[in-house]
């Protein structure tokens, strides 16, 4: 409404408290419309910003998901074998001659003269036994022999006299035969008594325990006053003796390597407690057959030990010469076991996985000799996941050649 309309209706004109007139209503409406448009524009800009942020976030999530879906792998290249190498096998050092020393006579230990670690010579006295029962039996046997010998003298003189009487036909042939039989029996009794005396004297000689060969004392199981039983059935050994130079090494060679050894071949023996030291031995004996339960071949290595650095009973590793069965070698952790047989995952230049069927010529533990299935230029995935499949896309993280020959 205009001012004329206000005047006709007797409505006073709009004035402020300070006496100024208020702006017309159409101007206020324009301002309100402008504010509404500004608010709408701000809301639209906010919505647009939210939509753009969602689109960018979805795109970032998709890119991250795509990156996470890419499998990173490590690869190696096969190595060419030189046709030779060594196979490490466990072995046990044994004395060239080892023997537990038992008592042959029953008695009490009177004294011992050597202890563990002592080097003894052949025939050296190790201990003395006190054998009162054997001593008494020997004295009794000697007395019986003397008694039989005395009776034999009488039987002999009687037989000689009866021969003279028979020549004069003073006695019968029957009486002469009786005297001859008595004399012959006395001779046999004397021989038996002599044999019994010799047996007891020989048994009494076992009171002295001597070393049967030169070596080192590895055990002493008795002390002064112990009751010693004869034999090795239920009694314990008095001493244990071993010859430490040279030594024997017994090795169980798997059937796969049985064709690589021969008598006279040189081997290298190492012990973990002696780092940096190598001992050279010679194969002296090879079992003539494969052991059925273990499918292994036993070999014996003779090892000189002049300085006594090695000790019988120690665990050692023996490097047996081996012959390569194939030209290509790869790490053992690149092998995949599938229902179709052994496989290896090979990556091409486009990052695509191809599972190759392989033929293993020889399993060396940490490495494999491959007869066919891969080429020297292939890139083989090491430690592949069980879910890897033919045609998968992977990304090579690093390329290295860490394959080692058989050791």
pLDDT, tens only, 263-292:
888 888 989 888 888 899 989 988 888 888
Which CATH superfamily does the domain covering 246-323 fall into?
A: Efflux pump adaptor protein, beta barrel domain (2.40.30.170)
Decide: pTM greater than 0.75: no
Residue 259: which residues within 8 A CB-CB, separation 6 or more? 323
Query: Tens of pLDDT along 68-123?
Result: 556 788 888 888 765 556 778 888 888 888 888 888 888 888 889 988 888 889 88
Q: Where are the domains of the chain?
A: 20-69, 72-83+327-399, 99-220, 246-323
Residue 382: which residues within 8 A CB-CB, separation 6 or more? 73, 74, 75, 76, 331, 333, 334, 402
Q: For 62-76, 196-210, 221-235, which range has the lowest pLDDT when averaged over its residues? A: 62-76
Check if the beta carbon of residue 183 is closer than 8 Å to that of residue 159: yes
Query: Tens of pLDDT along 109-129?
Result: 888 998 888 888 988 999 988
- Mean of pLDDT values over 306-315: 86
Report the distance separating Cα 307 and Cα 293, nearest Å. Answer: 38
**What's the pLDDT at 404?**
42
Domain 72-83+327-399 fold: 2.40.420
pLDDT of 15 over the 60 cut = no
Q: Between 173-205 and 132-167, two packed helices, what is the crossing angle to 10 degrees? A: 160
Report which of residues 162 and 167 the model is more confident about: 167
Domain 99-220 CATH class label: mainly alpha
């Amino acid at each position: 409404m205009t001012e004329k309309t206000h005047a006709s209706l007797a409505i006073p004109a709009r004035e402020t408290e300070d006496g100024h007139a208020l702006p017309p209503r159409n101007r206020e409406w324009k301002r309100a419309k402008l504010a509404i448009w500004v608010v709408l524009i701000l809301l639209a800009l906010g919505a647009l910003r939210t939509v753009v942020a969602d689109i960018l976030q979805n795109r970032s999530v998709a890119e991250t998901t795509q990156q996470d879906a890419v499998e990173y792998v490590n690869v190696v290249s096969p190595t060419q074998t030189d046709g030779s190498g060594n196979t490490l096998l466990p072995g046990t050092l044994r004395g060239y001659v080892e023997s537990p020393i038992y008592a042959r006579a029953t008695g009490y230990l009177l004294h011992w003269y050597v202890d563990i670690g002592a080097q003894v010579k052949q025939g050296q006295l190790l201990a003395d036994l006190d054998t009162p029962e054997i001593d008494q039996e020997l004295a009794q046997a000697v007395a019986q022999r003397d008694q039989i010998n005395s009776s034999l003298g009488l039987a002999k003189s009687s037989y000689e006299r009866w021969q003279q009487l028979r020549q004069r036909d003073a006695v019968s042939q029957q009486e002469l035969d009786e005297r001859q039989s008595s004399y012959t029996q006395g001779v046999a009794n004397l021989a038996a008594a002599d044999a019994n005396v010799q047996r007891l004297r020989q048994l009494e000689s076992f009171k002295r325990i001597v070393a049967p060969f030169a070596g080192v004392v590895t055990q002493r199981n008795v002390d002064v006053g112990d009751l010693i039983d004869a034999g090795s059935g239920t009694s314990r050994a008095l001493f244990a003796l071993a010859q430490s130079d040279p030594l024997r090494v017994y090795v169980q060679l798997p059937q796969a390597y049985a064709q690589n050894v021969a008598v006279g071949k040189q081997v290298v023996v190492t012990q973990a407690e002696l780092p940096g030291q190598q001992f050279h031995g010679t194969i002296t004996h090879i079992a003539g057959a494969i052991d059925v339960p273990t499918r292994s071949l036993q070999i014996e290595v003779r090892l000189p030990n002049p300085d006594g650095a090695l000790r019988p009973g120690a665990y050692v590793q023996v490097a047996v010469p081996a012959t390569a069965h194939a030209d290509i070698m790869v790490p053992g952790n690149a092998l995949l076991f599938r229902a179709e047989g052994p496989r290896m995952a090979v990556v091409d230049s486009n990052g695509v996985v191809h599972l190759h069927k392989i033929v293993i010529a020889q399993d060396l533990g940490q490495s494999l000799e491959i007869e066919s299935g891969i080429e020297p230029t292939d890139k083989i995935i090491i430690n592949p996941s069980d879910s890897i499949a033919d045609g998968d896309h992977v990304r090579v993280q690093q390329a290295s050649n860490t394959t080692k020959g058989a050791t």
